[in-house]
Structure 1
Amino acid sequence: MTVTIYDVAREAGVSMATVSRVVNNNPNVKPQTRKKVFEAIERLGYRPNAVARGLASKKTTTVGVVIPDISNAIFAEVARGIEDIANMYHYNIILCNADKRKEKEIRVINTLLEKQVDGLLFMGGVVTDEHMQAFQTATVPIVLCGTNVEGNTMAAVDIDHQQAAHDAVKLLLDKGHRRIGMISGNLQDPNNGFSRYNGYKNALEEAGVAFDESLVRIGNHRYESGIEAMKYFLELPERPTAIFSATDEMAIGAIHAAQDAGLAIPGDISVISVDNSRMASMVRPLLTTVAQPMYDIGAVSMRLLTKLMNKENVEKGKVTLMHEVIQRQSVAEV
């Protein structure tokens, strides 16, 4: 049978109100009484009912986190940052995988809100009108984590994706490359897709290099799409001397496809990407990439959410973190 607060009170010889004060860390309990209550809790194996406590306090100390793809190491690093700060401020998290599907994202958002979470962190790609409608009906704070929507007023933490892509392509241009291919994410994705695509185009324009649409292939962020894109580039009458990939995973697929075709990286073709996931330092040659501070994105997002949940003063609702070009071995001069 379930052990109740009444059972603990009877075992310890105190009132239920005293047990409640002990469980909720109320300082107005004598040390001797507190010790008796804890001993009774241990003997009986009592666990406080979090739902009942939440109803009483109108807080569940639980935060919902919507993650696009739990198998992606990039999002795992963000989740670690969230978890560490959540623990620091005594919040539990409910992590929900949405498989990068809009319908599932919206269903998960509504499910978490129905579970009376105190706040919500949303990691995703495209934020549609349906997403915004779900957010606007929420009665708890929401922070976009590694996601942003141009023109929206919601709290958000991210990097400047367009500038990150620009800096990656500029490195290639500075090394003398002029025929630069791009493996892009879905252009409906405002960050990993459209913003990085625009950064690529802007860097070329600044250098006086004409944009060539035939040098852009759309991938799906996965290794296999990087392989297919590189195969396409290698079959062109004049292949690119360098490839900019919107993500590390596609870049590694591109590297392997080139190597399978007997080409050397970076001797025959250079490759650069954005993310700086752990895979970037596992592939050979080591991948030159633009580092996103993924852990910090998660940590800062969670800290911002704690401030909003506790109604603390927030100077900036939108936080843009710095990125950094990490030069390794996959880019050479021409």
Structure 2
Amino acid sequence: MPVTIYDVAREAGVSMATVSRVVNQNPNVKPTTRKKVLDAIERLGYRPNAVARGLASKKTTTVGVVIPDISGSFFAEVARGIEDIANMYNYNIILCNSDEQKEKELRLINTLLEKQVDGLLFMGNEVTEDHKEAFGTASVPIVLTATYDDENRWPSVNIDNKQAAVDATTLLLDEGHRHVALITGPLTHPVNGFPRYQGYREALEAKGVPFDEKYVRVGDYRYQSGMEAMRELLALDEPPTAVFAASDEMAVGVIHAVQDAGKRVPEDISVIGFDNINISSMVRPLLSTIAQPMYDIGAVSMRLLTKLMNKEEVEDPHVILQHELVLRQSTKTQAGE
């Protein structure tokens, strides 16, 4: 049978109320009495019932996190930032993998809310009307991490994806390239895929370079889709001389496809990626990329959520973090130039 608070009280020779005060770190307990209770807890191996404590306090000190793909380097680093700040503020997290499936996302949101989490962090490619309906029924704060809703009803933490794409494309154009290709994510994704496509087109227009749809390919942010897209681009009558890939994994696939074709990066084709995950500094040549503050996206999201849960003042519920252009060896313009 599990050890109960009654067993601890009897062992220590105190009331159950005194045990409760010790467990909940109430300062109004004499040091000698506190020691007796703690010694009894250790001898008996008592573990407080978190569910019962949550019912009493109306708080579970638990945060739900819905994440698209925990195996992806980007989301893994975001999750690390979330967990570090959660630990700092004594919250536990329930991490749920949605596999980027809308129905699964909705099911996980409802399940976490049913489990009485104190707050929810949501990461996904799109906040649909169904998502909004689910969020609208929540009685706890919700923060959108690396995503947002088109009405800005819920607090969010992001970077400026369109401007980041402008910066990446402009770098390639400034190298003198006029046939610059884009390999992005699905254009139906309003957070990443479409804004990066918009930024690419905006940079071309600013430099007076005509947009040519044949240089645009849609992948899924993964290595294989980058390689396959680059093989298609290399088969064109007039292949691109530079490529902006909207993820580092796809950019590495691009580099390998170029090398398989007997060409060199960046001498024949310049390549720039997006995210600055670890693989960008492992591939050869080293990958130039747009650095997202992945850890900070998670950490700032969790800190914002703690403020909302504790009803602290929030100056701006919609946070835009800074990205950075990291120049390495895969572009003709390199660090220090």
Fold similarity call, TM over 0.5? yes
Task: State whether structure 2 residue 228 is matched by structure 1 residue 228.
Answer: yes
For residue 191 of structure 1, report the CA deviation from its aligned partner.
Answer: 2.0
SS in 1 for 2:220: coil
User: Which residue matches 1:318?
Assistant: 318
TM-score by length of 1: 0.99
User: Which residue matches 1:127?
Assistant: 127
User: Which residue matches 1:149?
Assistant: 149
SS in 2 for 1:325: strand
SS in 2 for 1:217: strand
For residue 188 of structure 1, report the CA deviation from its aligned partner.
Answer: 1.2
Distance in structure 2 (CA, Å) of the matches to 1:247 and 1:150: 23
Structure 1 unmatched ranges of 5 or more: none
Q: Per-residue displacement from partner, 1:33-59 (whole Å, max 9, x unpaired)? A: 111111100111100000000000000
Task: State whether structure 2 residue 220 is matched by structure 1 residue 215.
Answer: no
Q: Per-residue displacement from partner, 1:120-140 (whole Å, max 9, x unpaired)? A: 000111111111111111110
What is the RMSD of the two structures over their aligned residues, measured on CA atoms?
0.7
Distance in structure 1 (CA, Å) of the matches to 2:213 and 2:127: 26
Distance in structure 1 (CA, Å) of the matches to 2:290 and 2:55: 46
For residue 214 of structure 1, report the CA deviation from its aligned partner.
Answer: 0.8
Letter in 2 for 1:285: P
For residue 282 of structure 1, report the CA deviation from its aligned partner.
Answer: 0.7
Distance in structure 2 (CA, Å) of the matches to 1:183 and 1:320: 24
SS in 2 for 1:273: strand
Distance in structure 1 (CA, Å) of the matches to 2:245 and 2:137: 37
Structure 2 unmatched ranges of 5 or more: none
User: Which residue matches 2:13?
Assistant: 13
- Residues 25-36 of structure 1 aligned to structure 2 (within 5 Å): 25-36=25-36
SS in 1 for 2:191: helix
Distance in structure 2 (CA, Å) of the matches to 1:11 and 1:189: 60
TM-score by length of 2: 0.98
Letter in 2 for 1:249: E
Distance in structure 2 (CA, Å) of the matches to 1:245 and 1:317: 30
Distance in structure 1 (CA, Å) of the matches to 2:291 and 2:222: 18
- Residues 115-194 of structure 1 aligned to structure 2 (within 5 Å): 115-194=115-194
Task: State whether structure 2 residue 166 is matched by structure 1 residue 204.
Answer: no
Letter in 2 for 1:40: A
Distance in structure 1 (CA, Å) of the matches to 2:288 and 2:151: 32
Q: Per-residue displacement from partner, 1:174-205 (whole Å, max 9, x unpaired)? A: 11111100101011111220010100000001
- Residues 65-144 of structure 1 aligned to structure 2 (within 5 Å): 65-144=65-144
1:265/1:285 contact within 8 Å kept: yes
Q: Per-residue displacement from partner, 1:137-195 (whole Å, max 9, x unpaired)? A: 11100000111223322100010000001100011111111110010101111122001
1:149/1:190 contact within 8 Å kept: no
Q: Per-residue displacement from partner, 1:257-282 (whole Å, max 9, x unpaired)? A: 11111111111111101101111101
Distance in structure 1 (CA, Å) of the matches to 2:26 and 2:221: 50
Distance in structure 1 (CA, Å) of the matches to 2:69 and 2:327: 27
